[in-house]
Amino acid sequence: MSVTTEKATAETPGPATAPPTRAGGKRRSWVPKWALATPAWLWFLIFFVAPVGLVFYYSFGYKPGIFDTVATDKLSFDRYVEAFEPNYIPIFKNTLQISIIGTFLCLLVGLPFAYWLAVKVDPKWRGLLLGLVLVPFWTNFLVRTIGWQIILAPDGFLSGLLQDIKVLSSPLGIDKTRTAVQIGVVYNYLPLMILPLFVAFDRLDPTLREASKDLYASRWATFRQVSLPLAMPGVVAGLLLVFIPLMGDYITASLLGGAQGTMIGVLVANMFQSAQNWALGSATAVLLIGFILGTAALFGAIGMIIRSIVRRHRRIDLGAVA
Partner 1 sequence: MTDRNDVVNVLAHPAAARRISRRAFLAGATVTAAGSSILISGCGGDDEPSSGASAAPSGELEDQINMYTWGEYDWPKVMKDFTKEFGPDIEVSSYNSNEEMISKLVATEGTSGYDIVVPTGVFIPQMVENDLLQPLDLERIPNFENIGEEYRDQPWDPGNGHSVPKAWGTTGYVYDKNHVTRPMATWQDFIDAAQNEASGQTSILDDPNESIGIYFWSRDEDWNTEDPAALDQCEDFLVNELAPHIKAFESYPGSSGIPQGSYWLCQAWNGDARQGIITSKENNWEWVFPAPRSELWMDNWCIPTGAPNPNAAYAWINYNLDKDVSLQTLSWVGYHTAVAGIEPAAEEAGIERLDMVFFTPDQVATMDAGEVNNSQQRRVEIANNMKAAAVG
* Options 4, 12, 139, 273; binder of partner 1; rule CB under 8 A: 273
Contact 282, 58 (CB under 8 A): yes
* Helix spans in 59-205 (H): 78-83, 89-115, 123-134, 141-152, 157-164, 178-202
Q: Does 79 bind partner 1 (CB under 8 A)?
A: no
Calpha distance 197→107 (Å, rounded): 9
Q: Does 170 bind partner 1 (CB under 8 A)?
A: no
Q: Does 150 bind partner 1 (CB under 8 A)?
A: yes
Closer of 153 and 231 to partner 1 (Cβ): 153
To partner 1, the closest distance from the beta carbon of 296 in angstroms equals 23
To partner 1, the closest distance from the beta carbon of 242 in angstroms equals 22
* Options 66, 165, 167, 320; binder of partner 1; rule CB under 8 A: 66
Q: Does 171 bind partner 1 (CB under 8 A)?
A: yes
Q: Does 175 bind partner 1 (CB under 8 A)?
A: yes
Q: Does 258 bind partner 1 (CB under 8 A)?
A: yes
Stretch near partner 1 under the rule CB under 8 A, chosen from 63-71, 99-107, 160-168, 289-297: 63-71
Q: Does 30 bind partner 1 (CB under 8 A)?
A: no
Q: Which amino acid is at 182?
A: Q
Q: Does 68 bind partner 1 (CB under 8 A)?
A: yes
Strand partners, 62: 71
To partner 1, the closest distance from the beta carbon of 159 in angstroms equals 9
Strand partners, 71: 62
Q: Whose CA is closest to 253, among 245, 262, 240?
A: 262
User: Counting Cβ atoms within 10 Å, is residue 266 exposed (0-12), middle (13-18) or buried (19+)?
Assistant: buried
Q: How far is CA 132 from CA 125, 184, 198, 203, 268, in A?
A: 11, 18, 14, 20, 34
* Options 30, 34, 67, 138; binder of partner 1; rule CB under 8 A: 67
Q: DSSP 3-state assignment of 169?
A: coil
Q: Whose CA is closest to 285, among 266, 257, 260, 259?
A: 266
Q: Does 72 bind partner 1 (CB under 8 A)?
A: no
DSSP, res 184: H
To partner 1, the closest distance from the beta carbon of 260 in angstroms equals 6
Calpha distance 145→189 (Å, rounded): 12
Closer of 192 and 266 to partner 1 (Cβ): 266
Determine how many CB atoms are found less than 10 A away from the CB of residue 240. 17
Stretch near partner 1 under the rule CB under 8 A, chosen from 114-122, 237-245, 258-266, 292-300: 258-266
- Among positions 93-132, residues that touch partner 1 (CB under 8 A) are 94
Binding positions for partner 1, rule: CB under 8 A: 63, 66-69, 85, 87-91, 94, 149-150, 153-156, 171, 175-177, 257-262, 267, 270-277
